[in-house]
Structure 1
Amino acid sequence: MSLLFLFLFLFFIFLQPVFSLNQEGLYLYQFKLSVDDPDSSLSSWNNRDQTPCNWSGITCHDGTNTTTTTTVTQINLSNFNIAGPLPTSILCRLTNLATLILTNNSINETLPSGISLCTSLTHLDLSQNLLTGTLPETLPLLSNLRHLDLTANNFSGSIPISFGTFQKLEVVSLVYNLLESYIPASLGNITTLRTLNLSYNPFQPSRIPPEIGNLTNLEILWLSSCNLVGVIPESFGNLKKLSVLDLSMNNLEGSIPSSLALMTSLKQIELYNNSLSGELPSGMSNLTSLRLIDVAMNRIGGVIPDELCRLPLESLNLYENRFTGELPASIADSPNLYEFKIFTNLLSGELPENLGKNGPLIWFDVSNNSFSGKIPASLCERGALEELLMIHNSFSGDIPVSLGACRTLTRFRLGFNNLSGEVPVGLWGLPHVYLLELVDNSFSGSIANTIGGAGNLSLLTISNNKFSGAIPEEIGRLVNLQEFSAGNNQFNYSLPESIVNLSQLGILDLHNNKISGELPKGIPSLKKLNELNLASNEIGGKIPEKIGSMSVLNFLDLSSNRFSGNVPMSLQNLKLNQLNLSYNLLSGEIPPLMAKDMYRDSFIGNPGLCGDLKGLCDVGGEGKSANFVWLLRAIFIIAALVFVFGVIWFYFKYKNIKKARSIDKTKWTLMSFHKLGFGEDEVLNCLDEDNVIGSGSSGKVYKVVLRNGEAVAVKKIWGGVQMEMESGDTKKKQFQDNAFDAEVETLGKIRHKNIVKLWCCCTTRDCKLLVYEYMPNGSLGDLLHSNKGGLLDWPTRYKIALDSAEGLSYLHHDCVPPIVHRDVKSNNILLDEDFSAKVADFGLAKAVESNGRGTKSMSVIAGSCGYIAPEYAYTLRVNEKSDTYSFGVVILELVTGRKPVDPEFGEKDLVMWACNTLDQKGIDHVLDSRLDSFFKEEICKVLNIGLMCTSPLPINRPAMRRVVKMLQEVGPESQSKSSQKAGKLSPYYYDDGSDHGSVA
């Protein structure tokens, strides 16, 4: 028996080390049990091991012998997909833990202040998680911490002033959080810092602390999109070790400080998208390490310094400024230059002859300047050029033959110049080019057969030139071609049969050429064709009957040709925005559904066509007799119905008049906000059901015509609970005093051309009236989403967007205190007789608190479905950026023609649908098919603005003042194109949204 006990004792003694986990392992096993691990990423963590040193993500070291692993020094669980709060009370028991990396997980709740007990930490990376709340003020107690990365969380509040007491911190990154307040000057005390990255946080408008200039060891300073204002501090000249300076996307002003030339270690300067002015500082020749400079989208002028062009630059972006003079010839000597973008300036003269000879140019854009002379033949000499954009200049001569051999090209735009001669044969067939634009030049010759090799070509626009000859059959090999625009040329012969192979073709525009023959029989098979313009040619034969099966076709112009036969009945199936079959040889009757005045000009000039339209021949005798009998019967029936309904109407009219007159007008109180030419009697006498023009959540709206002939709109809000019959259902409407008070308080003191005018208000105990200026064209939502939406062409929609933006900008930036509308939507944007837009319905408006934190949190979500900013749903706090989001949805409505919510979207809204459709199908599936493709480039720019406004992160949304500026930047170009179209009848080339003209 004693032997048995001795055996068992020895058995447990020897097995205990095998199955017992050391203390650090127990701590880590407890950590595993405290978090969610849906992917079993911690499956190797088990309690059967002696130590955790072989577990995934764990590194051990004893600090003296590298072969002995006894203590946990590093935990790296990046991308493990673990979730839950951070258990610092467990982790901080690992007394030798120096590195903790949990990036890209779902660690949530707050960062516990207990993290400061992990006193051995030197590297803390909790980036890309779901942490919320404020930054712990105790973090600087980590006296050994050198690396702190909390990027892409949801931290709010301010950066604690105590952060200035870090003793050894070298890297701090707080990018993409929700930090408010301002950048504390105390950060200038962390003299050990090498990297300071605070970008993309919604700080209050504030200046850059000059104390940042004390960080003499700083190598990287990234303060992009931090809502910075004022000037760049001169103290930055002390940052001798700084290699990267990024202050882009702020509101900085003034000139670039001359002390910049003292920062001799700079390799990268990014100051784009600010309001900087003046000239580039002198002494830039000292920056011998500089490789990238981007000061685009500012107001910087003067000449481009020669000393800048002599630096070993790799990327030079000076676009959208006010630079003048000629381009220094020294830029051609730069051996590393691969990106050169100086578009939209005031530059002139000729380009350096050797440009591209010494440097591997990849992206080259000098568009929208006044350059002249020839195109340098050496642009692709290093064989790397991908994008060549030179539109809107005065270049002359021919295209260098060398560019025809540049097989790396992907985008090639030479439109709107004075170029001539024949296009190099090789250029037509470059295999990677997807955009080839030569519009508005004087090119001659024909399209070479080599075009069959351009397998990636999507957009071919060569309108307004002198091209001639036949369109080659090889064009049918371009399976990716989406647009072929070659109007206003001299092409002849018939269309190639192979053109029916272009299954992706959306636009075919060959108007004003000399094309003859007949239409290829397979034209109706082009199911994606949206625009077919063959006007002013010599094409004959019949119009294909199956043309009505082209479901997306909305622009069809076959005028001034030699088409004969009948007009296909199937045309009635199409939803055409424009139809023109005039001046052909068509005969027979027009389709019945097209016998409308709106199509009158579509059929003139066809002597054989008959139909019930003035100017077309009459239908024969028997038909006339039958029609006359039917007409008499119809008149009798209509007269009887009119009589019956007239009696009924008179009865109810009499009751309403009697009811209106029974109101005791002496009990009404009138409060006016403008000088009035009418009294309350005129308004009260017209409040009957015949004058109702709308009904909302708070009351009905009436149109009241005054004695002087002018009209006003009157909103009537009843007190108590009102019972009303609507669509067969009984609704209860509760009177809302706060909506009335907000409307009166807001509109009573506002004077702006894009805010609806409130004339006066009338009140009694049970009823309140708001009297507004009358807007004849109603609301944008009602007009845009009705069958009259096609009446809103793009110039009108653009004007509505700009007017509305200016109204909201006034509320946000010019009212004291600022006003948040809280219910911006298309139905609250009203249109006058000239389609000028005015923002209306201020029943939910709130003033912004003076502390800049927005309005107080609301108890419920207010606003309209589809327009509510995502952060509002969980914070219930609104500010100006909430209105910006709603306005972005309105822009998407104008661009797409779709409602903010639609059963077609499923669980998505318009914003999600637009983003997904852009990614999966492209721009053509997003834009409203009723819009003229002539304006497509401008529409794409406005779409970009709408997408910026609807960014999920409020910090990424521009302020409304910036939105107005961006929309205005689109405007002059839009007017310019309109005049071009009127004068030349030539479609302006549009881009895919990724061009330099893009706003975003």
Structure 2
Amino acid sequence: MSSHSPCLMFFFVFVLVFSFGYCLNEEGHYLQQVKLGFDDPDGFFSDWDDTVADYTPCHWTGVTCSEPGSGFVVAVDLSNANVAGPFPTVLCRLTGLKFISMYNNSINGTLPDELSTCQSLVHLDLAQNYLTGKLPESLCNLPELRYLDFAGNNFSGDIPASFGKFQKLEVISLVDNLIGGNIPAELGNISTLKQLNLSYNPFSAGNIPPEIGNLTNLEVLWLTDCNLIGPIPNSLGRLSKLMDLDLAINKLTGSVPSSVTELTNVVQIELYNNSLTGELPAVGWSKMTALRLIDISMNRFTGTVPEELCSLQLESLHLYENEFEGKLPEILSNSSNLYELRLFGNRFSGSLPKDLGKNSALVWLDVSNNLFSGNLPENLCKNGALEELLMIHNSFSGHIPVSFSKCWSLKRVRLGYNKLSGEVPVGFWGLPQVSLLELVENSFTGVIGNTIAGAGNLSTLNIANNKFSGELLNEIGLLDGLIEFSGGNNLFSGSLPDSILKLEQLTKLDLHNNGFSGGIPSGIDSLTKLNELNLANNKFSGNIPDKIGELSVLNYLDLSGNQLSGKIPVGLQNLRLNQLNLSSNLLTGDIPPVYAKKIYINSFLGNPGLCGDIEGLCDGKNVTKTVGYVWLLRAIFVLAGSIFIVGFGWFYFQYRKFKNSKQIDKSKWTLMSFHKLSFSEYEILGALDEDNVIGRGASGKVYKVVLSNGEAVAVKKLWGGSKKGEDEDLENGLGSGAVVDNGFEAEVETLGRIRHKNIVRLWCCCSTKTCKLLVYEYMPNGSLGDLLHSTKSGLLDWPIRYKIAVDAAEGLAYLHHDCVPAIVHRDVKSNNILLDGDFGARVADFGVAKVVNGDEKGGNSVSVIAGSCGYIAPEYAYTLRVNEKCDIYSFGVVILELVTGKRPVDPEYGEKDLVKWVCTTLDQKGLDAVFDPKLDSCFKEEICKVLNVGLLCTSPLPINRPSMRRVVKMLQEIGSVNPTKFASKDGKLTPYYYDDASDHGNVA
């Protein structure tokens, strides 16, 4: 017996294991069929196997049973599982299943009618997937269904009238699909409904069904951007339980019915961006004691604001861009909850309530572009929360209250274009959080306080057109983040302090029409980002510094009306100036040949000792003839000298090339590779000569190096550490971007660890203490920007442009959604999108990329703005908070470039950029005036759809911009045969974008 016991034991264990492995119950087998029907790249179903101890799937990830060990599955939750495949109808064989969630996956195909056999289903969430086709009419046959969410898919067709037969439905969300037709009146029959969310669908133009008023249990009505027309029906006043009413971004007309004031439980009302007219109901608002947020901006309302409305305990009040008039009721200041008040773009008059801000923690105040007068309320920042104070273009008078000096929370101040006077309180100059301080066009006096040294976040200082006096203090040089300084038309005197040369971020310096004297600082070349320099009509003397010709991005130079003497620096010829004015000085000698043209004559008038071959500039009968002989002799001398210099230079270059090739110290180079290499660093080093340069810019030079195996690579040789901060574009190969001290490390860190077909590949990097090289795959078609805005743009027909847009979007989506933690590029632009031989696109130049900490609400703070003019998201410029929405805005600008063929900034737009030009032109001239004439008109419908995606991405409100994953999805849909929500109607485009003249902030 004992000799056989081990064998019996083994047999018993084997039978036991075998029995467990093949005794999974029937519901478990159904779920395994679900698993087999999906692609599962992340292994979500890894524990969905048949080796279970209790015969049931109750312990599998995402599976819930009614009771432990019972085996009856009641819930299947695959939310955020990253699975792909069609909807598994086998789930409906689980007779007790009440809950299904497949939120945010890649569920595709159409939704089968068999779904209606899930007779016990209570909760169905298929939001944020790729489902297409029509909504099944049979869904109403689910007798227990209470929650239905299909938001963020691609369902099309009409909402079935049969949906009105739901027996217990409480929530229906079809937000952000491609649903057409009209909102069916039958929805008014779902008496149990609490939430009706149909926003962001391309419905046919139609009215709000009055039957919606029958939904007496409704708490949320969300019909944003549903192409609604006509008046707001009176019947909505019967929705006594309604808490959220959102009818924004439609074409509603007429006045607000008085029945709206019967919504006694409503907390938020959103009616912005419609065509509503008339006056607001004068009475009845006092019944709406729950109302906290109201946004009726961007309509055509008239009359005064009802006092009853202002007597409520409001938190946010948006009335901007209407035609309201009269005085703002004083009682508004009694609200203890008010944190946001935006009234800009109306005709309000009189003074602001004197106690405004006294009883509440006011955060945002914008009353710009009105007719307000009187003093600034001194309690606006009493509770220490005020961040934005925007009051431009009014008639405010008096002084800036001393209490503002302690408003440490302020970030943006715009008091320009008023009638304010007196001295600015000393402490007000040094508020530590302020990034924008605008006092332009008032009557302020006194000096700039030395406390300005404490304004560490100041990037824009505009105090022009006042009566400020005294000298500029050395403390101005401590504002190392200052980008623009406008102080023209004041009474300043004395010399410019040397400390001003420390403002390395400065792009604009405008001090014209003052009394400055002394010389222009000779070290002005340290202001490497300077784009505009205006020192006209002062008393500057001495020579124009030779170094001024080294300001490579300078395009506006006005030194007229001074006492400058000596010769004009020849180095000015190196600049690409749009405007040059050196008139009315004491300059002598010859005009540099580049400017010795008649079109520049006004730039040099009033300099008696100045002469050149410009007709009318010089006096005397023989001057022109004499000067001609002089120039002839000079030309001969220069020609002979040039021949000698070129010959000597060629000999020296060849000698140095030979010498360098023999003297490379291999031991000093450090190689870090990120892929398997078929070349060595020495093959790269031997080919870095000027003949192979294909681009140059702020970050360095780019070389094309052909390897011994016949393949080519692109090599970026970075400038030394002293040359940084410029933002010029490389002509080919690798794009460009703003350069920061750790640009090399950022590029290596980012590209070294990511892999994607639409991200440029970094092969390796080589470095010594004095030189850094980055070796990339070579892109033979250069950058999108160079090709699109050159004579070769004809190569980019619409199918190629569409492909480029999709490729670049997929690359950015990878950075935002698939990298952990996510990466924000921060300099997305056409010059940083490179094209291979087949015009496949790669996102390039990660020198300013930033890892985003998802725990940081609203984005990560940065100290310096990165990016390129015309591409920078509006909120980034003044909040210095970076997140994925900044990249999405920049990518939207790239889409507009692809559609229009125009640059992001251009003199033809005036003060606008491409985004505003497109929107203005669409409104005034229509689609045809926006499209690139090089594009074939047969693609007009598809181009129109892509244009609308671009407008979505460039929405001024970050919350309205889609994610990059959503952008990819939209673009891919446009390229398919299925109709999409972005189709034009009657040849007109209805974008989601709206342009606000001030600072709009919407409560979503």
Same fold (TM over 0.5): yes
Cα distance in 1 for residues equivalent to 2:17 and 2:990: 76
Q: How far off is 1:81 after superposition?
A: 1.2
1:129 aligned partner: 129
Q: How far off is 1:87 after superposition?
A: 1.6
Q: Provide Cα deviations, 1:324-350, integer angstroms capped at 9, x if missing partner.
A: 111111101111111111111111111
Cα distance in 2 for residues equivalent to 1:402 and 1:524: 40
**Would the alpha carbon gap of residues 537 and 939 (structure 1) be closer, same or farther in structure 2, given more than 3 Å must change?**
farther
Q: Does the 8 Å contact 2:44/2:81 carry over to 1?
A: yes
Q: Does the 8 Å contact 2:871/2:890 carry over to 1?
A: no
Cα distance in 1 for residues equivalent to 2:30 and 2:541: 86
Q: Does the 8 Å contact 1:200/1:956 carry over to 2?
A: no
Q: Does the 8 Å contact 1:168/1:192 carry over to 2?
A: yes
Cα distance in 1 for residues equivalent to 2:309 and 2:69: 56
Q: Which runs of 5+ in 1 are unaligned?
A: 632-860, 874-895, 971-990
Cα distance in 2 for residues equivalent to 1:564 and 1:17: 102
2:956 aligned partner: none
Q: Does the 8 Å contact 2:237/2:263 carry over to 1?
A: yes
In the alignment, is residue 544 of structure 1 matched against residue 545 of structure 2? Answer: yes
Residue from 27, 31, 35 that aligns with 2:30? 27
Q: How far off is 1:525 after superposition?
A: 2.1
Cα distance in 2 for residues equivalent to 1:223 and 1:378: 39
2:44 aligned partner: 41
In the alignment, is residue 58 of structure 1 matched against residue 59 of structure 2? Answer: no
2:679 aligned partner: none
Cα distance in 1 for residues equivalent to 2:414 and 2:610: 44
**Would the alpha carbon gap of residues 289 and 422 (structure 1) be closer, same or farther in structure 2, given more than 3 Å must change?**
same
Q: Provide Cα deviations, 1:84-108, integer angstroms capped at 9, x if missing partner.
A: 222222x222222211111111111
Please show how residues 381-780 of structure 1 align to structure 2 within 5 Å: 381-617=382-618, 618=623, 621=626, 623-624=628-629, 627=632
Q: How far off is 1:902 after superposition?
A: 9.1
1:285 aligned partner: 286
Secondary structure in 2 aligned to 1:605?
Answer: coil
Cα distance in 1 for residues equivalent to 2:355 and 2:989: 41
Seq. identity, %:
54
Cα distance in 2 for residues equivalent to 1:152 and 1:915: 30
**Would the alpha carbon gap of residues 438 and 528 (structure 1) be closer, same or farther in structure 2, given more than 3 Å must change?**
same
Q: Does the 8 Å contact 1:950/1:957 carry over to 2?
A: no
Q: Provide Cα deviations, 1:911-934, integer angstroms capped at 9, x if missing partner.
A: x99996543699999996985699
Q: How far off is 1:46 after superposition?
A: 3.0
Cα distance in 2 for residues equivalent to 1:629 and 1:17: 104
Q: How far off is 1:865 after superposition?
A: 5.8
Q: Amino acid of the residue matched to residue 170 of structure 1?
A: E
Q: Amino acid of the residue matched to residue 12 of structure 2?
A: L
**Would the alpha carbon gap of residues 930 and 71 (structure 1) be closer, same or farther in structure 2, given more than 3 Å must change?**
closer
Q: How far off is 1:505 after superposition?
A: 1.4
**Would the alpha carbon gap of residues 935 and 403 (structure 1) be closer, same or farther in structure 2, given more than 3 Å must change?**
farther
**Would the alpha carbon gap of residues 626 and 554 (structure 1) be closer, same or farther in structure 2, given more than 3 Å must change?**
closer
Q: What TM-score comes out, normalization by structure 2 length?
A: 0.66
Q: How far off is 1:908 after superposition?
A: 7.7
**Would the alpha carbon gap of residues 6 and 963 (structure 1) be closer, same or farther in structure 2, given more than 3 Å must change?**
closer
Q: How far off is 1:13 after superposition?
A: 3.6
**Would the alpha carbon gap of residues 193 and 997 (structure 1) be closer, same or farther in structure 2, given more than 3 Å must change?**
closer
Q: Does the 8 Å contact 2:495/2:517 carry over to 1?
A: yes
Q: How far off is 1:199 after superposition?
A: 0.2
Cα distance in 2 for residues equivalent to 1:255 and 1:8: 85
Q: Amino acid of the residue matched to residue 434 of structure 2?
A: V
Which is worse superposed, 938-947 or 295-304? Answer: 938-947
Cα distance in 2 for residues equivalent to 1:913 and 1:485: 21
Cα distance in 1 for residues equivalent to 2:804 and 2:225: 20
Cα distance in 1 for residues equivalent to 2:172 and 2:399: 54
Q: How far off is 1:898 after superposition?
A: 9.0
Cα distance in 1 for residues equivalent to 2:16 and 2:57: 20
Please show how residues 57-96 of structure 1 align to structure 2 within 5 Å: 57-62=62-67, 68=69, 70-89=71-90, 91-96=91-96
Secondary structure in 1 aligned to 2:64?
Answer: strand
Q: Provide Cα deviations, 1:334-368, integer angstroms capped at 9, x if missing partner.
A: 11111111111111111111111111111111111
Q: Amino acid of the residue matched to residue 174 of structure 2?
A: L
Give the number of the structure whose alpha-carbon radius of gyration is greater.
1
**Would the alpha carbon gap of residues 374 and 959 (structure 1) be closer, same or farther in structure 2, given more than 3 Å must change?**
farther
1:318 aligned partner: 319
Secondary structure in 2 aligned to 1:564?
Answer: strand
Cα distance in 2 for residues equivalent to 1:244 and 1:369: 30
Cα distance in 1 for residues equivalent to 2:1001 and 2:911: 12
Aligned length: 722
**Would the alpha carbon gap of residues 306 and 957 (structure 1) be closer, same or farther in structure 2, given more than 3 Å must change?**
farther
Q: Does the 8 Å contact 2:869/2:905 carry over to 1?
A: no
Q: Amino acid of the residue matched to residue 841 of structure 2?
A: E
Q: Does the 8 Å contact 2:344/2:998 carry over to 1?
A: no
What is the RMSD of the two structures over their aligned residues, measured on CA atoms?
Answer: 3.9
In the alignment, is residue 995 of structure 1 matched against residue 999 of structure 2? Answer: yes
**Would the alpha carbon gap of residues 389 and 104 (structure 1) be closer, same or farther in structure 2, given more than 3 Å must change?**
same
Q: Amino acid of the residue matched to residue 36 of structure 2?
A: L
Q: Does the 8 Å contact 2:171/2:195 carry over to 1?
A: yes
Q: Does the 8 Å contact 1:867/1:900 carry over to 2?
A: no
Q: How far off is 1:125 after superposition?
A: 0.7
Q: Does the 8 Å contact 1:270/1:294 carry over to 2?
A: yes
Cα distance in 2 for residues equivalent to 1:296 and 1:57: 45
**Would the alpha carbon gap of residues 956 and 277 (structure 1) be closer, same or farther in structure 2, given more than 3 Å must change?**
farther
Q: Amino acid of the residue matched to residue 47 of structure 2?
A: S
Q: Does the 8 Å contact 1:554/1:930 carry over to 2?
A: no
In the alignment, is residue 936 of structure 1 matched against residue 911 of structure 2? Answer: yes
Cα distance in 1 for residues equivalent to 2:634 and 2:475: 60
Which is worse superposed, 397-406 or 134-143? Answer: 134-143
In the alignment, is residue 14 of structure 1 matched against residue 16 of structure 2? Answer: yes
Cα distance in 2 for residues equivalent to 1:442 and 1:305: 35
**Would the alpha carbon gap of residues 630 and 964 (structure 1) be closer, same or farther in structure 2, given more than 3 Å must change?**
farther
Q: Amino acid of the residue matched to residue 223 of structure 2?
A: L
Secondary structure in 1 aligned to 2:132?
Answer: coil
Residue from 841, 848, 864 that aligns with 1:907? 841
Q: Does the 8 Å contact 2:544/2:565 carry over to 1?
A: yes
